[in-house]
């Protein structure tokens, strides 16, 4: 439905991501590089998944069980990749600290590490939004709109934009939670992230049921809000602890 609608859908899906980028990440070139490499990482994991699933595609029926297996394997794989990503992040942190010692600058602060985690998560979220939502939005710039059979009340582009928005938030902040959890070794955080990702992905399965998207969309937004809240609490706690330990030195 014209360029205005197309741009509108893009902004719905990517609005928070763009503002995060412009306000936080664009200022430090290193974070831009982190974002690009984490996007590449996610893309490669998606290609591997697609390669593994290629023989079984296209899924002819729209029953639940093929898609649920797809989702379970995909989410499991991506969460496994996240641990690998964290290991790489640790190595990079060590290299950066060694470099900081060489040029006699302070080592990485806690906020730096969290910013790096944020950039990594935003990279994942951006990749998700682009591949699952933006690449299908090209017809939206034209003169018409499209409705999926299972969901006749909301245009397809709007649903996918809102889902992409939810997942951007989930990916971005679950990376922050996950990195903090792995660093501190707290089980609760470590379990929360795969759990949240899995639940969010399973919620989208509700969309397969006719009329299900009316329930699925709000639930997904609630899930995204939960992740955001959890990460906020975690970061607040961590930073206040850090401040008190620093000021007590």
Residues between 68 and 87 that touch another protein (CB under 8 A): 70-71, 74-75, 78
Question: Measured between alpha carbons, how far is 233 from 116 in angstroms, rounded to an integer?
Answer: 18
**156-184 and 213-247 helices cross at what angle (nearest 10)?**
30
1, 12, 136, 199: which one binds another protein (CB under 8 A):
136
| Region near another protein per CB under 8 A, out of 13-21, 53-61, 178-186, 222-230 | 53-61
State the minimum distance, in angstroms, from the CB of residue 59 to another protein.
6
Map the footprint of another protein across residues 195-234, applying CB under 8 A: 197, 200-201, 204-205, 207-208, 213, 216
Which residues have a Cβ under 8 Å from the Cβ of 61 and sit 6 or more positions away?
none
Category of 39 on φ-ψ map: left (φ > 0), alpha (ψ -120 to 50) or beta = alpha
State the minimum distance, in angstroms, from the CB of residue 185 to another protein.
21
Map the footprint of another protein across residues 5-34, applying CB under 8 A: 27-33
13, 20, 46, 168: which one binds another protein (CB under 8 A):
46
Q: Identify whether the C-beta of residue 160 lies closer than 8 Å to the C-beta of residue 168.
A: no
Beta strands in the chain, from DSSP E residues, in sequence order: none
Q: Which is nearer to another protein, 18 or 75 (CB)?
A: 75
DSSP assignments along 86-132, one per residue: HHHHHHHHHHHHHHHHHTT-----HHHHHHHHHHHHHHHHHHHHHHH
Map the footprint of another protein across residues 171-190, applying CB under 8 A: none
Map the footprint of another protein across residues 105-134, applying CB under 8 A: 105-106, 108-109, 111-112, 115-116, 128, 130-134
Q: Which is nearer to another protein, 1 or 96 (CB)?
A: 96
Q: What is the dihedral of CA 67, 75, 16, 158, to 10 degrees?
A: 0
Q: Which is nearer to another protein, 97 or 188 (CB)?
A: 97
Q: Which is nearer to another protein, 103 or 187 (CB)?
A: 103
Question: ∠ CA(146), CA(149), CA(155), 5° rounding?
Answer: 35
């Amino acid at each position: 439905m014209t360029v205005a609608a197309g741009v509108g859908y893009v902004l719905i899906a990517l609005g928070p991501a763009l503002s995060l980028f412009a306000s936080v990440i664009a200022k430090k070139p290193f974070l831009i590089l982190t974002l690009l490499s984490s996007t590449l990482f996610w893309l490669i994991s998606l290609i591997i998944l697609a390669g593994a699933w290629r023989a079984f595609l296209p899924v002819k029926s729209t029953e639940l069980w093929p898609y649920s297996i797809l989702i379970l394997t995909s989410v499991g794989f991506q969460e496994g990749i996240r641990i690998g990503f964290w290991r790489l992040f640790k190595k990079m942190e060590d290299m950066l600290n060694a470099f900081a010692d060489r040029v006699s600058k302070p080592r990485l602060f806690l906020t730096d590490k969290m910013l790096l985690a944020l950039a990594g998560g935003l990279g994942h979220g951006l990749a998700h939004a682009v591949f699952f939502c933006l690449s299908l939005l090209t017809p939206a710039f034209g003169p018409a709109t499209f409705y999926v059979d299972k969901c006749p009340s909301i245009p397809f582009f709007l649903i996918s934009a809102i889902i992409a928005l939810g997942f951007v938030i989930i990916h971005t902040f679950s990376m922050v939670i996950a990195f903090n959890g792995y660093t501190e070794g707290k089980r609760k955080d470590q379990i929360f992230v795969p759990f949240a990702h899995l639940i969010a992905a399973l919620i989208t399965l509700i969309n397969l049921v006719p009329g299900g998207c009316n329930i699925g969309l709000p639930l997904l937004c609630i899930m995204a809000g939960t992740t955001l809240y959890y990460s906020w609490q975690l970061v607040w706690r961590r930073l206040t602890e850090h401040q008190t330990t620093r000021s007590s030195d």
